[in-house]
Amino acid sequence: MHYSIKQAARMTGLSEHTLRYYDKENILPYLERTQSGTRRFSDRDIEWIEFLNCLKKTGMSIENIKQYTDLCQQGDETLAERLEIFKAQRLAIEEKIAELNESLQVVKAKISRYSEAYAAYQENNKT
């Protein structure tokens, strides 16, 4: 199956503008064109975009994604390098989760204190 940019946008949740921007940045390595120049998205492209979405959620920049995409197109010699990228990214995600858990504790503590303060405030302002 092949899809127009409009369909691809709907399927991936990105805008047509963003898909063209990603193409311009060369991070859609499998994307083909018709002879008149229209982009022709395949299932492989859709899957790739969904994978990019996942990488972006972990905080990976377009620049880093570009580097990875380039390595993918250079064949098996870059396998070790690509493996290292993901190992580093795994660490980064784990650190981010740990950091968020810490912040969660701080926010929860705030909620406790505000709950108490608010209860006391209501008590003082009883009619």
Partner DNA sequence: TTAAAGCATAGAGTGTACTCTAAGTCAAGA
Partner DNA sequence: TCTTGACTTAGAGTACACTCTATGCTTTAA
Q: Contact, 43 vs 55, CB < 8 A?
A: no
The only residue of 21, 25, 47, 79 in contact with a second copy, by rule CB under 8 A: 79
Kindly state the smallest distance separating residue 38's Cβ from DNA, in Å: 4
Tokens of 39: 């982009």
- On whether the CB atoms of residues 46 and 8 are closer than 8 A, the answer is yes
Do the beta carbons of residue 59 and residue 96 sit within 8 Å?
Answer: yes
Q: What are phi and psi of 4, to 5 degrees?
A: -75, 170
For residues 63 to 82, the per-residue mask of contacts with DNA, x marking binding by CB under 7 A and - elsewhere, is: x-------------------
- Specify whether the CB–CB gap between 37 and 29 falls below 8 A: no
Candidate list 43, 46, 50, 62; residue touching DNA; CB under 7 A: 62
Binder of residue 87, out of a second copy, DNA, none (CB less than 5 to 8 A by kind)? a second copy
Which spans of this chain sit near a second copy (rule: CB under 8 A)?
Answer: 51, 54-55, 57-58, 76, 79-80, 82-83, 86-87, 89-90, 93-94, 96-97, 99-104, 106-108, 110-111, 114-115, 117-118, 121
